[in-house]
A and B are shown apart, each in its own frame.
Chain A
Amino acid sequence: MRHVISILLENEAGALSRVVGLFSQRGYNIDSLTVAPTDDPSLSRCSILTTGDKWEAEQITKQLHKLVCVYRVSALLEEAEGGIEREIVLVKVNTPNKNARDEVKGLADIFNSKIIDVNAEIFTLEFVGNSSDIDNFITTVGKLAEVLEVVRSGVVGIAKGNHFMKP
């Protein structure tokens, strides 16, 4: 089972290494990790995608909470149950001829993806969605054009409705 663990932590030296260290130390997986300062610059928001059963998710949450530098932690629910996840992907594709360029442009329109960089032979696409949308996008683009590079941001998540994590 996949879980997005959302963490508010002190924006200070060594804080992230404690979080990452905890995962390796206790044998938990990190499938993706994103971190950036929040609107309050003394705090960082960190989202970690991990896999494990419910018991494991609870353990991870408790252990994270125990870290002195961690302010708030929650395991976000799956999308169906009230969580929202987004990821951004940048895909560089080879478009050597007009046919390829047209195909990729058409596909980008269908997916609501933006072409953010263009030169004569290469397009760079941007696409935002949840993880499975992104998997699907990458596979589909790959069928039409040669994919040169894929950069995924990792998952960020937030709860739906009136649930929110506030300092």
Chain B
Amino acid sequence: MEKLNGAKQVVRVLEDLGVDRIFGYPGAAVTDIYDELFDSKIAHVLARHEQGAVHMADGFARCTGKVGVALVTSGPGATNTVTALATAYGDSIPLVLITGQVSTDLIGTDAFQEVDTMGVTRPVVKYSFLCKKPEDIAKNIRKAFYIASTGRKGPVVVDIPKNCQNRSYLFDYEKNSDISIRSYNPTVFGHRGQVKRAAAQLTKAKQPVMLLGGGVVQGDASEIATKLARRLNFPVVSTLMGISSYPTTDRQYLGMIGMHGLYEANETMHNSDLIFAVGTRFADRATNMVAKYCPNATVVHIDVDPASISKTVSANIPIVGDARTVLTQIDKELDELGFKDPNDLSLWWKQIEEFKKKDCLKYSRKEGMIRPQEVIETINRISNELKLNPVITTDVGQHQMFSAQYFDFETPRHFITSGGLGTMGVGLPAAIGAKFALPDANVFCITGDGSFQMNMQELAVCRKYKLPIKIFILDNSVLGMVRQFQTVFYKERYSATNLDGNPDFVKLVEAYGFKGIRITDNDKLESTIRDVLMAKDEFILVDIITDTNTKVMPWLRANGSMVDMMLNEEEK
């Protein structure tokens, strides 16, 4: 058996696990690992902040389904990753973070750059390991990959004390990769009886709706979900995280549900007699008040996480299992039932066509003023024309909701957004991670002037690697989403939402050697965006000055049902 030191084993096990790129930031407690990386075929991307590094690994994971990997040092290196870990945890993204730790003999002595990383990160990770001896390293990293990428996915931390990486202590490298953890056995196959019951129920529904969540995207279940939806002729809606799981231009797709969901999507949910929910946790932003939620619906709920079933909305037919596997089981069960043509759902579809006539995303144009919706619509339209099939990353706020509402997606994993945690600052680093993962893809980061400033230091990574990402800042000089609340619920008292003091974003990217363009006029919008999208191999930041007073609509009223919607920007 090969004998290797601890630091080398870290690198070797990552290589053996098929990792070709990691994101990180060095420091005293990981210098041995960095030294070993120097000779490794694993490419390392030096972020400019540990949060950025983990968001990059997250973006990498979201658009490939592979486990994202990040490496940081102890103490502040580890604490800087907390927001990014929580972001990945909130959306169940497979991620392994390796953190350095002070030597085992110093643990508990308040040593330099010591922090209880396991303790600090515990509530925001799926699991964590502290390697107390060098022999734990390879085994724990393998377990971390297994845990991160199975069941309900999530981030896992492996904390490695400095002395365990010691270059002079050589020991056996365990090549065997069989991992079994007796206390962790995620369910893959759905219970046969439940699958039968569900299939029978699906064929009986008169007003069904299929609700797709992030689990469909992360569980690679889009194809079978699409097949089943078409077979059953069900209308399809998705949560924010479920966007891109189903082709948005398809006849059966009604759009996003929830707080800023589309009128027809929310109405269809509310009036349904059966919700066929897959890979969703019925989060508060997606249901509004649970007591008033879809009063006539029977709920068939498929999720890999048993704790997400009947947590908020109680399920009539719960099925625990992997989304793709269970949907395939249901498809087969329909065969066995001799299911040929869907129930006549024409009345239901007729009603849905009526909902659509509301045209809830229409907005008025203002002379000499760019509306944010206009920007997204334009980028989308030109992308479609040029067949760019972009990966869209967003930050959090109004621009995020407009992106969710107006963009078309044909390919799963092409919409990257922080849904669960709602982390501002994720857009740029996630775009960087996505560009590394899919070098041939067109990667656009749609952001706001608030969010962008939360991790704009990562422009240095774009510069170093000449990453041809396009950044579109919907720049309204305010924190638009909070301001929208203040306008409606706080008598226009705009407390701390004005972003006076913003830099000149065009000059900012010029300082990094990039091209920046500002658009202030509707007349220039179309032509400038077209030019930018045609420049495939160039990094360009577009700073678009947009209307400050635009509100995201529709907007669910608090404590109401899914149809208690404000539709008009003037409504209060």
Contacts and interface: CB of A to CB of B under 8 A. Distances in A.
Interface of A: 9-10, 13-14, 17-18, 21, 25, 58-59, 62-63, 65-66, 68-71, 167
- What 7 pairs between A and B have smallest CB-CB spacing? A71-B183, A62-B307, A68-B127, A68-B184, A66-B307, A63-B307, A25-B123
A13 B161 CA distance: 15
B130 A68 contact: no
Contact of A68 (B132, B183, B307, B311): B183
B90 interface: no
Contacts of A63: 307
B118 interface: yes
Interface string B115-135: 000110011001110101000
Given A65-B307, A66-B307, A17 B183 contact: no
Contacts of B132: 13
B306 A68 contact: no
Contacts of B181: 68
Interface string B159-200: 000000000000000000000011110000000000000000
Contacts of A58: 310
24 contacts: A9-B183, A10-B183, A13-B132, A14-B118, A14-B122, A14-B128, A14-B130, A17-B122, A21-B123, A25-B123, A58-B310, A59-B311, A62-B306, A62-B311, A65-B306, A66-B152, A66-B305, A66-B306, A68-B181, A68-B184, A69-B127, A70-B183, A71-B182, A167-B182
A13 B184 CA distance: 17
B434 interface: no
B147 interface: yes
A77 B218 CA distance: 38
A54 to B, nearest CB: 12
A93 B182 CA distance: 47
Contacts of A66: 152, 305-307
Contacts of B130: 13-14
**Among A9, A10, A17, A68, which residue has the most Cβ atoms of chain B within 10 A?**
A68
A59 B307 CA distance: 7
Nearest to A66: B307
Contacts of A59: 307, 311
B147 A17 contact: no
Contacts, number: 39
Given A13-B132, A62-B307, 19 more contacts: A9-B183, A10-B183, A14-B118, A14-B122, A14-B130, A21-B122, A25-B123, A62-B306, A63-B307, A65-B306, A65-B307, A66-B152, A66-B305, A66-B307, A68-B147, A68-B181, A68-B184, A69-B183, A71-B182
A62 B184 CA distance: 13
Q: Which interface class (under 10, 10 to 19, 20 to 34, 35 or more) fits B?
A: 20 to 34
Contacts of A14: 118, 122, 128, 130
Nearest to A59: B311
Most buried by B among A58, A62, A167: A62
A9 B183 CA distance: 8
Contacts of A68: 126-127, 147, 181, 183-184
A68 B152 CA distance: 11
Contact of A18 (B122, B182, B310): B122
B428 to A, nearest CB: 30
Nearest to B126: A68
Nearest to A62: B307
B282 to A, nearest CB: 14
Contacts of B182: 71, 167
B18 to A, nearest CB: 22
B438 to A, nearest CB: 31
Contacts of A21: 122-123
Contacts of B305: 66
A17 B119 CA distance: 8
A59 B312 CA distance: 10
A167 B181 CA distance: 13
Contacts of B306: 62, 65-66
Q: Which of A13, A14, A21, A70 counts the most B-chain CB atoms under 10 A from its CB?
A: A14
Nearest to A8: B183
Contacts of A10: 183
Contacts of A13: 130, 132
Nearest to B122: A21
A91 B472 CA distance: 71
A58 B309 CA distance: 11
A165 B310 CA distance: 25
Which interface residue of B119, B123, B305, B307 has the most chain A CB atoms within 10 A? Answer: B307
B247 to A, nearest CB: 33
A167 B152 CA distance: 24
A66 B305 CA distance: 8
Contacts of A62: 306-307, 311
Nearest to A24: B123
A25 B306 CA distance: 18
Nearest to B132: A13
B137 to A, nearest CB: 16
Residue of B182, B183, B307, B310 ringed by the most chain A CB atoms within 10 A:
B183
A62 B310 CA distance: 11
Nearest to A25: B123
Contacts of A25: 123
A142 B305 CA distance: 50
Nearest to B130: A13
A20 to B, nearest CB: 10
A63 B311 CA distance: 10
A21 B128 CA distance: 14
Nearest to B147: A68
Nearest to A60: B307
B43 to A, nearest CB: 30
Nearest to B127: A68
Nearest to B182: A71
